[in-house]
Amino acid sequence: MPYVRPDVANILAMLAAQPGPKMEEGDAATARAAMKMMGQMVERPRTDVAEIKDISIPSPHGHTIPARLYRSTLATDPAPVLLFYHGGGWVIGDLDVYDSLCAEVCSILNMTVVSVDYRLAPEHPFPAATEDCLAATSWLAGSPAVIGHAVTGIVPAGDSAGGNLAAVVSLELHGKLPVPILAQWLIYPGVDMTANSGSMVDFADGYLLTAGTMAWFTQHYMGDSDLLHPWASPLHAASLAGQPPTLVFTCGLDPLRDQGRAYAGKLIAAGVRTIFREAEGQIHGSVTIRGAIPSAQDDLHANLRDLKLLIAESLAAQPAQQLAAE
């Protein structure tokens, strides 16, 4: 039997005792409501920051993208921004479910955060979510006035499906924006739609995220699309060379664990500055279950210490990189 932290074992026992159908036995609307309800029970209260407000991001595809802005200070000095893409298998999740997490990240990093409410499947299948995240990132790089300060760099970040989206944003836009992508933070990312062995089998059931739920997510999002498309499975991109400094975080009891490990390994092999962190005895989804799993708060803060280091290193390197470009 794998090691399970005591606080993780408690919530797994609680979830196992809950009656009702599995997520994959219902529809998307029911699953979205269930995720929001669960978040209210298991997440920590939102910490206070200087400003939180809902904003709208224009999209070249004819719609607006809802987002939420978090500011740790009302100072107008130019500064970088962390752009967060939420998890939920491209089918569930929203700004409210991730509200506490984004406020915590804003507070601990002392950094502006923008959380993106991209379009969800099955109403908007692949590649709608990716298109929205690319559009949001390009918009942010232009220092829109609503942010409250000039944007000097971007940090794409996200968990699970959001980790996939952050990885794809970096693959597509690194080096192509008017400001640099300083680092990326991939939280138990889904980066291989074809994964069907290893941790996908070892933790297929009983650890919150199940193989059945992953298959349900994938079918809703991908339909008949190519699972090996680099926007679906960035692990299979031709190369990861030249990617921004990266923090990859995995959990030891997660079906997605092995693909996160593999992505970190491929980044390192490509010469990318990479920090890999794994939480032993921890489950998928832990960054938004910190109320029920106190040790997940420690995991989050350890991640943020690593991310601060990567951002600081990247900022320190910017003058030298600019001179080299000139």
Rounded alpha-carbon distances, angstroms, from residue 10 to 21, 27, 34, 238, 292: 21, 28, 20, 42, 9
pLDDT at 321 over 90: no
For 270-288, give the DSSP string. Answer: TT--EEEEEETT--TTGGG
CB 307 within 8 A of CB 183: yes
Domain boundaries, the chain: 6-316
Question: Residues with Cβ < 8 Å from 193, sequence gap 6 or more?
Answer: 218, 222, 227, 228, 232, 233
Options 117, 254, 258, 299, the catalytic residue: 254
Reported in sequence order, the residue ranges of the chain that DSSP labels E, i.e. its strands, are 51-58, 64-71, 79-85, 112-116, 151-159, 184-187, 246-251, 274-279
- The DSSP bridge pattern shows strands 64-71 and 112-116 to be antiparallel
Please determine, for residue 323, whether its predicted confidence score (pLDDT) is greater than 60: no
Q: Percentage of residues in the chain with pLDDT exceeding 90? A: 94
Region class of 148: left (phi > 0), else alpha (psi between -120 and 50), else beta: left
Active site residue 160: yes
Q: What is the DSSP string of 97-118?
A: TTHHHHHHHHHHHT-EEEEE--
Orientation angle between helical segments 294-325 and 6-16, nearest 10 degrees: 110
**Quick one: tokens of 236?**
């299979």
Kindly give, in sequence order, each residue whose CB lies less than 8 Å from that of residue 224, ignoring residues fewer than 6 positions away. Answer: none
Catalytic member of 100, 138, 160, 199 = 160
Tens of pLDDT, residues 71-113: 999 999 999 999 999 999 999 999 999 999 999 999 999 999 9
Rounded Cα gap, residues 209 and 324, in angstroms: 46
Catalytic residue from among 159, 284, 299, 314: 284
CATH of domain 6-316: 3.40.50.1820
- Contact predicate 149/110, CB 8 Å: no
Q: What percent of the chain has pLDDT over 70?
A: 98
pTM of the model: 0.97
pLDDT digits (tens, 9 = 90+) for 253-267: 999 999 999 999 999
Six-digit token pair at 313?
A: 């290193």
User: What was the pLDDT predicted at 19?
Assistant: 86
Confidence of residue 1 (pLDDT cuts 50, 70, 90): confident
